[in-house]
Amino acid sequence: MAEPVKLRLEGLDCANCAAKIEDTLKKAGFQRVSVNFVKREVTLEGDADKARAIIRRLEPGIRVLDAAAPGHVDDGDDSRRLPVFMIAAVILFVPGLVLRYGYGLNGTALMVVFAAAYLLAGWKVLKNAFLNSIRGNLFDENFLMAIATFGAFAIGEFPEAAGVMIFFMVGEYFQDQAINRSRRSVRSLLALKVDFANLLEDGKVVRVDPENLRPGHRIVVRPGERIPVDGIVISGSSGLDTSALTGESMPRPVTAGEDVLSGSVNLNGLLTIEVTKKLNESTIARILELVENATARKAKTEQFITTFARYYTPVVVLLAVLVALVPPLATGAPYPVWIYRALVLLVISCPCALVLSIPLGYFGGIGKAAKSGILVKGSNFLDALSAVTVVAMDKTGTLTKGVFKVAEIVTRNGFRPEELLKYAALAEVHSSHPIAAAVRDAWEGTIDPAVVREVEEQAGAGVIARTDDLEIMVGNDRLLHEQGIDHDTCHVRGTVVHVVVDRTYAGYLVIADEIKEDSAAAVRELKKLGVRRIVMVTGDSRDVAEAVAREAGVDEVYARLLPEDKVAVVEGLQHENGNQGKVAFVGDGINDAPVIALADIGIAMGGLGSDAAIETADIVIMDDKLSKVAAGMRLARRTRNTVMQNIVLALSVKLVFIVLGVFGEATMWEAVFADVGVTMVAVANAIRILR
């Protein structure tokens, strides 16, 4: 698969134009095309030079640059200059209205006043309309607005022509300001990259570009500075502000030996950190990439609106032509009356309220989620999250803390507790499993990994380790039965690690794992949101799983499952759920990667350090709080409701004004409100999500 190309579209200020660029590029054979009007970017697969040529031909006023090219941040510079022209236009227009309607004056001088106001307000529209007409683009909002206002001048409606253009441009100005605020709001989330790092080199601190840091380098992070790359604390202690990553306001204390994530702010202590990942592999780089690319995966609603807009404008324009010609030809009615009604239809023929506000709503939802510590990889996943009715989840690290400790040592057949621990730690010396780490931590002595010459994994049961003179089995009760080991204990409450030395049962270790503080509340909140079934799927024993399920309030338990068994359970849930909503799976993103990929919505918990979590999941919870799943669902539903509100508002108002326009009950003033006014209302409604 070819690498996607990302281009920056400086000067893109028309949502309908963005939709046309995307449609034209797709028709030209480009793959995976997505134009993001809010970010003014296009992502595609194919020849970048060919894409640039197509975009310049469609929109000559747009500068097409590489996304990484230097240049000013396109944050609405043109919209900040517009008020000068609008103020001048209003200064001419208001006295003209007073003279026309207050004193009944009319004539060439007054027409010149209205024309001057019109040109001051609409010069940019007229310029774009002229360029569009040369290229044969007759359904652009600029061309349609120019034709409508020229028509008003032609039939002697000078005040309406000037007023409509002024109101249109005022609306465009405030619309741009609203969009720019949303851009800046999300950009503030993305402004987490650090400009420099303090590298320790030969006992001296040297300021370097973070891109030059490599694993093994040591850096110094002073109070108030942001950590540039992922690493581990070598010396020092401090509190970290991780709110930009997790949405949590409480500082996180760190000391030597603890992992730290790029993007966190060091609050009060001097930290020496050993780099563990390069900049482009660090947490903050992956987060930025996810948030910036999220809008490329469009929801079905967005795709529908893009298709709808493609046909809506031509249909309304055709209706306007019929309104202008058919009644005068059929009944002999005066042309100016019906031409005026046709011009009203032209004013409301642009689908900007839909084309702009729908993507902006999803953009706001994804940005708000990211600020809350929830990474959503696309608006399609945000839509799917709003429809979740079944939630399946792993136990360890999801419902429980996943921090294991040896709570009890029970020996058999003459073995001493310290012997039992030593043999268990020896067998688990090469394992990365959290339970294995707990066993090793409990053994205070040293172990030489080279002593273990062979380790045999027993899927879903445990391991068999061999040294030069010993065979050690460590695992669950199933391992004992599979290997035919005599033992007197099968059912023990809690997570149990049985130990067998040279086929003699030596005893067992009880491993404790606490339920998270917010798990029970999170399960209750999911049920309040209408989730019909909450299911635990775990590889742990049924006794342990049922105890945790009772404490958390989980409805159903499937225990002692291998990864493929979890896949089968979730497939069954999807089949049983049918068309009654989506099935989500919440897991740690490493062992659960297959089932995360299978579920309608895969959610990775606490997976910032895991490549599997970032790459496999549709949604990543940037801390390990289960309550964020319910928070994400609430936000997804709010976003979905806002989008639907905007669709209903825009379509109903435009339909009403089309009918009123045809029957002569709507003026051009009212028509421009139906266009620009509804767009402004819809955009304002969309950006509420960010607050």
Kindly list the catalytic residues.
394
How far apart are the C-alpha atoms of 568 and 574, rounded to whole Å? 10
By C-alpha distance, which of 629, 623, 628, 586 is closest to 608? Answer: 623
Q: What is the rounded CA–CA span in Å between residue 450 and residue 95?
A: 93
In sequence order, what are the residues at sequence separation of 6 or more whose Cβ sits closer than 8 angstroms to the Cβ of residue 666? 344, 657, 660, 674
Q: Which two tokens stand for residue 489?
A: 């204990």
Per-residue tokens: 669: 């003033």
Count, residues in the chain: 691
Closest C-alpha among 535, 540, 587 to residue 557: 535
HSE value, Cβ hemisphere, 13 Å, CA-based, for 95: 11
Tokens representing 382 are: 């945000």
- Identity of the amino acid at 223: P
Cβ neighbours around 258 below 10 Å, total: 12
Q: What six digits make up the tokens of 263?
A: 């993007």
Q: Helix (H, G, I), strand (E, B), or coil: what is residue 522?
A: helix
DSSP letter (8 states) at residue 688: G
CA angle 581, 290, 273 (to 5 degrees): 130
For the beta sheet containing 197-201, the strands, ordered from the edge strand earlier in sequence to the opposite edge, are 204-208, 197-201, 218-221, 271-275, 231-235, 259-260
Residues 6+ apart with CB under 8 A from 176: 13, 76, 78, 79
Ramachandran angles phi, psi of 628, nearest 5°: -70, -20
Which token pair is 412? 């058999």
- Cα(201)–Cα(186) distance, integer angstroms: 36
Which whole-number Å values give the CA distances from 607 to 108, 366, 393, 603, in the listed order? 72, 18, 14, 10
Residue partners of 488: CB distance under 8 A and separation at least 6: 412, 505
